[in-house]
Amino acid sequence: MIKAENLFYLYDKNSSPVLKDINLDIQQGEYTAVIGPNGCGKSTLVKHFNGLLFPANGSVQVDGINTTDSSSIHQVRQKVGMIFQNPDNQVVAMTVEEDVAFGPGNLKLPPGEIQKRIYEAMETAGISKYAQHPPHNLSGGEKQLLALAGILAMHPSYIILDEPTSSLAPDERQKVARLLQQLHKKGITIIHITHNMDEIVHADRIIVMESGKIFLEGPPGEVFSRVDELKKIGIGPPKITELMWQLKKAGIDVSTSILTVEDACKEIASKVNTHV
Amino acid sequence: MYNIGQYIPGNSPVHRLDPRVKIILLVILSIFIFRADLTVSALTTAFYIIVIAVSRLGFLRVIKSLKPAAVFFAFLFLIHLFFTEGTPVFSFLPQYVSITFEGLHRGILYTWRFILLVLSASVLTMTTRPSGLVSGIERLLRPLNFTGISSHDTAMMISLALRFVPTLLEETQKIKEAQAARGANISSGSIFYKIKSAAALAMPLLVNSCRRVDELADAMEGRGYQRGPRTYMYELQLTRLDYAALLIGFILVFAACAYKYF
């Protein structure tokens, strides 16, 4: 479990805090999405979860380990993997396989174990065929899969993704999104920051942040149905949820916590049938 | 552009030699080349012809890899040709410019040595995986760890520098295109204009690189990177082939010492 208690953070002493009194529990196995307008502090928040940033006040614990405990920081970073937005700036090696081997090498695993793990990880990410290739020849999506493989080889319990798909082509977005769901099914906790609402309709929980605070929190159906509040802070819910919300406003009594086209069809059909 | 001495995958004995052995042999050969006369240069050339044939690099490709240095070769040759005193062979503007026999000899010898040095480096990088080179350097530097120079950190720095060469070239291209799209004319104009536009290119590149460094540092730390020892997926191991190559190298050195070559 990742636990944040009374978490405050400021970039320097005189500035106003970027995070203000955040209290949050993320359970093992959960798929949590974090959304919010630019500059709301979502990246700053997740950087606390693997010890890239440390609280100015309050605390962050990963499986009971306080991230400020410098003797255990290695453990925290093994448990919590992090993927960033720009795939190019995460690649450290000159071949795909060696890049995947970077994390396990940092964990000082023996060469045999490293090789076993990286082949598993590349297989899961679907990039085995590029093992010997130089990473700069890969597409953006493949580079992101490479970054994921690099984290998977460290056998993490939590994977944090900070807008992993924002620079990718639509088909590549889907590939990454599918892999995330697959990993989630295997029991890995996913913490996913995104601006693309359609990617996270299947999440267990959505956390909406605004000005360094948690603005809304709950399952997707519940959060997205509060269209008014979301629009106030500049977030558009999934189009289909907004459609249902508009229908309701227009006087048709439909549920507004609908996230997929199929469910929307069923819901509308059932109303139409009762009217006829 | 950046395929100057770029690694060509292969499975020849030259490819399979341990990078450490190749680096040591390169150093030995370079010392020989620095002191070479025409005979030794010819012998070294013959040696490289064999090496290139065995490693199946293709002569054309190797010669092409020397092309970027061609201007320097020509410069070196001409300098020696015209500025060495001795018996004139040919002169125009008598008293001022003349080609001497000594100049010709020196020009050929020095240029040949220089070509051989570049060729040595080129053959090394063309037959050795960059990561192999890096781990070779790391292992060879390990004895220096007690001086405070960390072999692991040095290896990491070299490897990151090499890794970002293609990325930065790509970015340079993008910036050039972005500037061209806004009417900048980079490919023509006077030399001063070109220098000026290079500065306009360097600034955004530098700024972007600084941003990259921040993100890269986060990504590396996030993956558990710490200064100091780490493990690698391949451990270097000397084989019989390596010992044989080393033995031949050392025999050469001893022979040279015995004949007072040095």
Query: What mean pLDDT is predicted for residues B47-76?
Result: 90
- pLDDT tens readout for residues B162-211: 888 888 888 989 888 888 888 877 667 777 777 877 888 888 999 999 99
Q: Is residue B38 part of a domain?
A: yes
Q: Do B163 and A93 touch (CB under 8 A)?
A: yes
Chain B residues closer than 8 Å to A118 by CB: 233
Q: Do B232 and A114 touch (CB under 8 A)?
A: yes
A74, A77, A88 ranked by CB distance to B167: nearest: A88
How many structural domains is chain B composed of? Answer: 2
Identify whether residues B252 and B207 lie together within a single domain.
no
Helices and strands (H and E) in chain B: how many: 10, 2
Q: Is residue B159 part of a domain?
A: yes
**Residue B94: predicted pLDDT:** 63
Identify whether residues B116 and B87 lie together within a single domain.
yes
**Residue A124: predicted pLDDT:** 94
Q: Is residue B83 part of a domain?
A: yes
Identify whether residues B127 and B255 lie together within a single domain.
yes
Chain B residues closer than 8 Å to A106 by CB: 223-226, 230
Q: Chain A: residue nearest B234 by CA?
A: A111
**Residue B260: predicted pLDDT:** 64
Q: Is residue B5 part of a domain?
A: no
Q: Is residue B3 part of a domain?
A: no
Q: Chain B: residue nearest A154 by CA?
A: B223
Number of residues that this document lists for chain A:
276
A77, A92, A109 ranked by CB distance to B163: nearest: A92
Identify whether residues B28 and B65 lie together within a single domain.
yes
pLDDT class of B49 with cuts at 50, 70, 90:
very high
Cβ-based neighbour number of residue B177 at 10 Å: 12
Identify whether residues B128 and B186 lie together within a single domain.
no
Identify whether residues B89 and B17 lie together within a single domain.
yes
CA-based nearest distance B220→chain A, Å: 7
Query: What mean pLDDT is predicted for residues B231-236?
Result: 83
Within an 8 Å CB–CB cutoff, is residue B105 touching chain A?
no
Each of the 276 residues of chain A gets a pLDDT tens digit; together they read 999 999 999 988 888 889 999 999 999 999 999 999 988 999 999 999 999 999 999 999 999 999 999 888 989 999 999 999 988 899 998 889 999 999 999 999 999 999 999 999 999 999 999 998 888 889 999 999 999 999 999 999 999 999 998 888 888 998 899 999 999 999 999 999 999 888 888 899 999 999 999 999 999 988 998 888 999 998 888 888 888 888 888 888 888 888 888 888 888 888 877 765
Within an 8 Å CB–CB cutoff, is residue A144 touching chain B?
no
Instruction: Give, in order, the Cα–Cα distances in Å from B105 to each of A134, A219, B31, B84, B141.
Output: 44, 84, 20, 10, 39
CA-based nearest distance A272→chain B, Å: 53
CA-based nearest distance B231→chain A, Å: 5
Within an 8 Å CB–CB cutoff, is residue B35 touching chain A?
no
Within an 8 Å CB–CB cutoff, is residue A124 touching chain B?
no
Query: How are strands ordered across the β-sheet holding A2-9?
Result: A19-26, A2-9, A57-62, A65-66
Identify whether residues B53 and B73 lie together within a single domain.
yes
Residue among A86, A106, A109, A119 with most chain B CBs within 10 A, to mutate: A106
Helix B38-55 × helix B19-34 angle, to 10°: 160
A92, A97, A105 ranked by CB distance to B231: nearest: A105
Identify whether residues B186 and B208 lie together within a single domain.
yes
CB < 8 Å from A in window 108-137 of B: 129-131
Identify whether residues B179 and B78 lie together within a single domain.
no
pLDDT class of B1 with cuts at 50, 70, 90:
very low
Identify whether residues B134 and B154 lie together within a single domain.
no
Do the interacting molecules here have an ipTM over 0.95?
no
**Residue B95: predicted pLDDT:** 66
Q: Chain A: residue nearest B223 by CA?
A: A103
Comparing C-alpha atoms, which of B47, B54, B45, B62 is closest to residue B10?
B54
Identify whether residues B134 and B250 lie together within a single domain.
yes
Identify whether residues B120 and B248 lie together within a single domain.
yes
Whether residue B97 has pLDDT greater than 80:
no
- Domain extent, residue B98, equals 13-140+235-261
A81-104 burial, b if ≥16 CB within 10 A, otherwise e? bbbbbbbbbbbbbbbbbbbbbbbb
pLDDT class of B2 with cuts at 50, 70, 90:
very low
Residue % of chain B over a pLDDT of 90: 31
Within an 8 Å CB–CB cutoff, is residue A54 touching chain B?
no
A74, A93, A111 ranked by CB distance to B224: nearest: A74
Helix B191-222 × helix B151-181 angle, to 10°: 130
Chain A residues closer than 8 Å to B222 by CB: 50, 52, 77, 81-82
Size of interface A-B (CB pairs under 8 A): 96
CB < 8 Å from A in window 159-178 of B: 159-160, 162-163, 166-167, 170
Chain B residues closer than 8 Å to A88 by CB: 167, 212
The Cα A262–Cα A239 span in angstroms is: 13
Q: Is residue B8 part of a domain?
A: no
Q: Read off the amino acid at residue A93.
A: A
Q: Is residue B61 part of a domain?
A: yes
Q: Is residue B175 part of a domain?
A: yes
CA-based nearest distance A147→chain B, Å: 10
HSE at residue A29, side-chain half, CA atoms within 13 A, is 3
CB A138 within 8 A of CB A96: yes
Q: Chain B: residue nearest A114 by CA?
A: B233
CA-based nearest distance A118→chain B, Å: 9
CB B156 within 8 A of CB B141: no
CB < 8 Å from B in window 7-26 of A: none
Task: Report H helices in A153-260.
Answer: 170-185, 220-224, 227-232, 239-249
Instruction: Give, in order, the Cα–Cα distances in Å from A132 to each of A30, A101, B56, B129.
Output: 34, 12, 20, 10
